[in-house]
Structure 1
Amino acid sequence: MNWEVVLGIVAGICTTVAVIPQIIKAWKSKKVKDVSPGMFIILMIGVALWVVYGVVKNDIPIIATNGVSLALNSVMFYLMMKYKKD
């Protein structure tokens, strides 16, 4: 495995797990007032497009990291909708 592949995998892992602290905080506190749903919608669209790009390029690391990222961001978006104040 060359350094470029390692770099891509590490970058993918970092961006994939970045939302986990926010998910944990929202789940424990049940407070999401200051989290922007618009940002998460745009982020999820972008990540979904990365998954499509990975499929087109047949690039498993891009598909895997962005697929997991999309799932995690979807969990956060669900928590935002569940705990939002009307």
Structure 2
Amino acid sequence: MKLVEPPSCSSPSTIVFIGRNRRGQWVAQEQNGLYGGLFVSRAQAVKYALFENGQHPETIVELPREIELDMGKNPNTIVSQRAA
């Protein structure tokens, strides 16, 4: 009998965005809003992202613009750009 693992929400194709919010805190947020958090350092944000995504550093994207943690109902709008 062959064992098959169920699909994981932390599949290697899952992108995790990291960056700073407008208050200077580090944010890590999964692209669909499934998980995320606020951190005091970049290292902690990356460590969390690696833990959550199954140790896939290639799926972590550091954003040059602000990112706000959004655990609301619309996960497609997690990345916000600073207003000019």
Q: TM-score, normalised by structure 2?
A: 0.31
Higher relative contact order (CA 8 A, sep 6+): 1
Q: Higher strand fraction: Structure 1 or Structure 2?
A: 2
Q: Higher helix fraction: Structure 1 or Structure 2?
A: 1
Highest CA radius of gyration, 1 or 2? 1
